[in-house]
A and B are shown apart, each in its own frame.
Chain A
Amino acid sequence: MPLAPAITDLDQLKERPALARLLAWDPGAVEAAKFDRDEFTIVLKRPAIREACAILRDDRELQFNFLSDVTGVDWYPNEPRFEVVYHLLSIPRRERLRLKVRLAGDDPSLESITSVWPSANFFEREIYDLFGVRFSGHPNLRRIMMPEDWEGHPLRKDYPVEGYR
Chain B
Amino acid sequence: MPQMFTPTPTLEATGPRTMTLNMGPQHPSTHGVLRLLLEIDGETIVRVMPDIGFLHTGIEKTCEAKFYQQTVPLTDRIDYLCPLTNNLCYVLAVERLLGLEIPPRAQWLRVMLNELTRINSHLVWLGTHAIDIGAMSVFLYCFREREDILRIFEMVSGQRMMTSYFRIGGLALEPPLGMFDAVKRFVTRFPSRVDEYENLLTENPIWLKRTKGVAYLASEDAVALGATGPTLRASGIDIDLRRDMPYTGYEKLKFKVPVSNDGDVFARYIVRVQELRESNEIVRQTLEGVPEGPIKADAPKIVLPDREKMKTQMEALIYHFKIVTEGFPVPAGEVYQAVESPRGEMGYYVVSDGSPKPYRVHVRAPSFANLQTLHTMCEGRLIADVVAAIGSIDIVLGEVDR
Contacts and interface: CB of A to CB of B under 8 A. Distances in A.
Interface of A: 1-3, 6, 36-37, 39, 41, 65-69, 71, 73-74, 85, 87, 89, 91, 94, 96, 98, 117-119, 121-122, 130, 142-149, 154-155, 159, 161
A68 B65 contact: no
B37 to A, nearest CB: 12
Interface in B351-396: 351, 359-360, 362, 364, 368-369, 371-372
Contacts of A85: 349
10 contacts: A1-B100, A1-B101, A2-B99, A67-B226, A69-B349, A94-B244, A94-B245, A145-B52, A145-B53, A155-B60
Interface stretch (B168-176, B178-186, B329-337): B329-337
B99 A1 contact: yes
Contacts of A66: 223, 226
Given A69-B362, A119-B369, A161-B65, A39 B225 contact: no
Contacts of A3: 99, 331
B177 to A, nearest CB: 32
Contacts of A2: 99
A1 B52 CA distance: 42
B244 A154 contact: no
B226 A148 contact: no
Interface residues of B, number: 47
B16 interface: no
B224 A119 contact: yes
B372 A122 contact: yes
Given A37-B333, A98-B336, A161-B62, 16 more contacts: A36-B333, A41-B334, A66-B226, A67-B226, A68-B336, A69-B364, A71-B349, A73-B351, A87-B349, A87-B364, A91-B237, A94-B239, A94-B244, A119-B225, A144-B53, A145-B52
Interface stretch (B2-10, B191-199, B316-324): B2-10
B56 interface: yes
A154 B64 CA distance: 12
B6 A147 contact: yes
B340 interface: no
Q: Which 4 A-B pairs rank lowest in CB-CB distance, beginning with the nearest?
A: A119-B226, A69-B364, A3-B99, A71-B362
A96 B9 contact: no
B390 to A, nearest CB: 16
A149 B7 contact: yes
Contacts of A122: 368-369, 371-372
Given A1-B101, A91-B237, A39 B372 contact: no
A117 B224 contact: yes
Nearest to A91: B239
Contacts of A65: 223
Given A144-B53, A145-B401, A87 B347 contact: yes
Nearest to B239: A91
A148 B6 contact: yes
Given A118-B225, A148-B6, A73 B359 contact: yes
Nearest to A161: B65
Contacts of A36: 333-334
Contacts of B349: 69, 71, 85, 87
A74 B61 CA distance: 12
A71 B362 CA distance: 7
